[in-house]
């Protein structure tokens, strides 16, 4: 047995507490009688100067421009986000490692460089970027929510971290994740639980949940998440953000810490999350530039620089398939139904076509994913958590059961080959179905619009009993690029519980029974826009068309 997880956690928590400059903290008196909607606090608290507020409300594009034009320094920008991240930490518990001294030193040196040479070091010069805990920034620990790693120094930088640093980014915080990054809410025995930003009684999602809460709280202009079953998109959805899960091979993934090391059945990806869609674009453009050439650093990266204006002719009308109501297994809650209807109406008003899309094999694909997580992940995770006597969370009980039955040990090459054959067949079937949408002289469907989750943002703790990553997971099996987009917020006067409907199964019934208009009022309604494999640029352009249509229609 190793050290008990509680002793490990105490050391990590002290390190985090000691790294917080007292001047950034909201006073204790400001932490009582909190509103449910925590995102209003930075503005309403009086804790930030007007100049700081202007910075933390700005998007990455504006920040980079102002730094380049020497209207803002990277130092002032970095300090404002350091402060805002601490306020976010106080209200949502979203941070793990705090890197302020090196961030401040880095910002100063970037300012000096610009002053001396008149040149920026790269397209991200001076921009604070927050990192999910699995991104390795030596020598800081990368716990990924597990006691065994929580106080362990690291030495090999994640490839993406190096790329971003060379482009000019400033790293100042790392953000919380669930144990092994394998739950859909963010809680672990080291750092505790992170709550949602728009409703403090809801989950921030997972596994990039700390990022989700931090970004919505204005504690970061741009964050990096990772996604194997929905881990960028679920927290983006629960916190009303844009988040891109790319196709595998576009962005460098080498050297990130993984919950299930070595499995390649479902590819793990990383991608940007932000309150602004333009910020995602500028990130993609910068990371996939010839200047950074990540394909020379990661053998899995395809040498395709980011392409501009791939939808041709420019501004042409798009054809969207939409999944309404349910995916064959789970109905979405009423605010999501309204969000889907709003999006359809807005797109049609802008001249685009929206037709109903049958979610082909979604339940079967997610079932395959579910089993693969347990068979491939049971030993990878439990061998580590058991060392430090970590308890097993509700939604991870299947890992424990698989481990205890010894099923992970009997997986073997034959079963793995069978899994891969099935996965490949699902990918082929989806490709054929997509391709077959070309009809009546019209080209193939451009994209799919579908919920990111049956919930807007579930109550804290609920997903330990009712686990459902079905809406995101199907696209991990397919390896399709997906971007989330915020539509509106749940409204108790508009989003009434379903009546006269038949649950498809027990869990489906439980999810609708959980819906309470009063409780969920104000939680974000966020959907996914899906493209075909390696059409990452098109996905962002389609998301842009959707956002414009929604804006014009509101
Ligand atoms: C998910 O996988 C576990 C074991 O791997 C299994 O016990 C459980 O029934 C599966 N869930 C579904 C809905 O298939
Ligand atoms: C796929 O779509 C293209 C373009 O519409 C069409 O020419 C082709 O026949 C289709 N192939 C299959 C296998 O459906
Ligand atoms: C998918 O939905 C089914 C519906 O009943 C549920 O039992 C299962 O846990 C879900 N799978 C995942 C991986 O979320
Ligand atoms: C929560 O605050 C945001 C501003 O951060 C605002 O846009 C939103 O309308 C608020 N939600 C509710 C329910 O008041």
pLDDT of res. 1 = 72
Known catalytic residue: 132?
Answer: yes
Mean per-residue pLDDT for 264-280?
Answer: 96
Please give all residues whose beta carbon lies within 6 A of any atom in ligand 2, as ranges: 435-436, 438, 444
pLDDT of res. 441 = 85
User: Using 50, 70 and 90 to split pLDDT, how confident is the model at 360?
Assistant: very high
What separation in Å is there between the alpha carbon of 51 and the centre of ligand 4?
22
Ligand 1 probe mutation, 364, 366, 398, 404, most atoms within 8 A of CB: 398
The structure tokens listed for 134 are: 């699995």
492 and 244 Cβ atoms separated by less than 8 Å = no
DSSP assignment, residue 390? P
Mean per-residue pLDDT for 219-234?
Answer: 98
What separation in Å is there between the alpha carbon of 440 and the centre of ligand 2?
13
* Tens digit of each residue's pLDDT (9 = 90 or more) over 227-242: 999 999 999 999 999 9
335 and 520 Cβ atoms separated by less than 8 Å = yes
pLDDT of res. 2 = 85
Q: Which of 85, 143, 203, 207 is catalytic?
A: 207
Q: Following DSSP, what letter does each residue of 110-133 receive, concatenated?
A: HHHHHHHHS--SSTTTT-EEEEET
What separation in Å is there between the alpha carbon of 194 and the centre of ligand 4?
19
Known catalytic residue: 231?
Answer: yes
User: Using 50, 70 and 90 to split pLDDT, how confident is the model at 415?
Assistant: confident
pLDDT of res. 227 = 98
pLDDT of res. 414 = 87
What separation in Å is there between the alpha carbon of 96 and the centre of ligand 1?
31
Ligand found nearest the CA of 436: 2
Q: Produce one character per residue of 481-515: b if its CB has 16 or more CB atoms within 10 Å, e if not.
A: bbbbbbbbbbbeeebeebeeeebeeebbeebbebb
CB atoms within 10 A of CB 457: 32
Reported for 51-56, long-range contacts at CB under 8 A and 24+ positions apart, including other chains, are 51/76, 51/80, 52/80, 52/83, 52/84, 55/80, 55/81, 56/80, 56/81, 56/84, 56/218, 56/219
Mean per-residue pLDDT for 456-478?
Answer: 97
Is residue 408 pLDDT above 80, yes or no?
A: no
Enumerate residues 6+ apart whose C-beta is below 8 A from 483: 242, 243, 244, 245, 277, 280, 528, 529, 539, 540, 542, 543
The structure tokens listed for 516 are: 């309470």
Ligand 3 probe mutation, 467, 474, 475, 510, most atoms within 8 A of CB: 467
Is residue 518 pLDDT above 90, yes or no?
A: yes
* Tens digit of each residue's pLDDT (9 = 90 or more) over 24-65: 999 999 999 999 999 999 999 999 999 999 999 999 999 999
Q: Is the pTM of this model over 0.95?
A: yes
CA 191: distance to chain centroid? 19
Is residue 407 pLDDT above 90, yes or no?
A: no
Ligand found nearest the CA of 39: 4
Across the strands, what pairs with 525?
A: 488
* Tens digit of each residue's pLDDT (9 = 90 or more) over 530-546: 999 999 999 999 999 99
């Amino acid at each position: 047995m190793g050290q008990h997880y509680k002793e490990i956690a105490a050391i990590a928590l002290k390190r985090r507490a000691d790294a917080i400059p007292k001047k950034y903290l909201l006073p204790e008196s400001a932490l009582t009688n909190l509103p449910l909607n925590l995102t209003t606090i930075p503005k309403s608290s009086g804790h930030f100067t007007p100049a700081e507020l202007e910075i933390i409300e700005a998007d990455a594009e504006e920040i980079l421009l102002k730094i380049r034009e020497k209207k803002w320094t990277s130092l002032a920008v970095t300090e404002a986000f350091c402060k805002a991240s601490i306020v976010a930490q106080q209200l949502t518990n979203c941070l793990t490692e705090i890197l302020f001294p090196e961030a401040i030193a880095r910002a100063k040196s970037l300012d000096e460089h610009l002053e001396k040479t008149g040149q920026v070091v790269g397209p991200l010069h001076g921009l604070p970027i927050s990192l999910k805990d699995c991104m390795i920034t030596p020598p800081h620990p990368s716990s990924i929510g597990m006691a065994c790693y929580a106080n362990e120094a690291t030495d090999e930088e994640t490839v993406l971290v190096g790329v971003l640093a060379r482009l000019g980014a400033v790293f100042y915080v790392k953000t919380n994740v669930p144990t092994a990054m394998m739950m859909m809410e963010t809680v672990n025995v080291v750092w505790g639980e992170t709550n949602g930003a728009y409703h403090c009684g809801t989950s921030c999602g997972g596994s990039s949940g700390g990022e989700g809460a931090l970004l919505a709280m204005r504690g970061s202009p741009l964050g990096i998440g990772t996604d194997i079953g929905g881990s960028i998109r679920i927290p983006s959805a629960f916190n009303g953000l844009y988040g891109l899960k790319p196709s595998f091979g576009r962005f460098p993934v080498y050297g990130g810490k993984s919950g299930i090391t070595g499995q390649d059945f479902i590819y793990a990806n990383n991608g940007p999350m932000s309150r602004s869609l333009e910020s995602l674009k500028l990130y993609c453009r910068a990371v996939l530039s010839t200047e950074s050439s990540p394909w020379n650093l990661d053998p899995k990266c395809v040498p395709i620089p980011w392409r501009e204006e791939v939808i041709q002719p420019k501004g042409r009308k798009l054809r969207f398939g939409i999944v309404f109501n349910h995916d064959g297994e789970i109905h979405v809650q009423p605010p999501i139904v309204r969000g889907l209807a709003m999006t359809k109406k807005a797109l049609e008003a802008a001249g685009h076509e929206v037709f109903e899309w049958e979610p082909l094999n979604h339940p079967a694909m997610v079932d395959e994913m579910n089993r693969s997580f347990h068979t491939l992940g049971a030993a990878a995770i439990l061998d580590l958590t058991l060392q430090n006597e970590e308890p097993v969370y509700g939604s991870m009980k299947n890992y424990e059961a698989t481990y205890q039955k010894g099923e992970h040990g009997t997986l073997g090459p034959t079963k793995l080959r069978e899994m891969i054959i099935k996965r490949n067949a699902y990918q082929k079937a989806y490709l054929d179905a997509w391709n077959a949408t070309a009809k009546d002289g019209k080209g193939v469907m451009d994209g799919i619009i579908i919920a990111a989750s049956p919930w807007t943002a579930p109550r804290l703790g609920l997903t330990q009993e009712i686990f459902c990553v079905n809406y995101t997971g199907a696209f991990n099996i397919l390896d399709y690029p997906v971007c989330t987009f915020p539509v509106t917020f749940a409204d108790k006067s508009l989003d009434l519980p379903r009546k006269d409907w038949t649950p498809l199964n027990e869990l489906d019934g439980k999810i609708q029974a959980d819906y309470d208009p009063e409780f969920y009022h104000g939680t974000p309604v966020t959907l996914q826009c899906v493209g075909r494999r390696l059409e990452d640029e098109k996905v962002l352009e389609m998301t842009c068309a959707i956002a414009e249509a929604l804006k014009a229609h509101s």
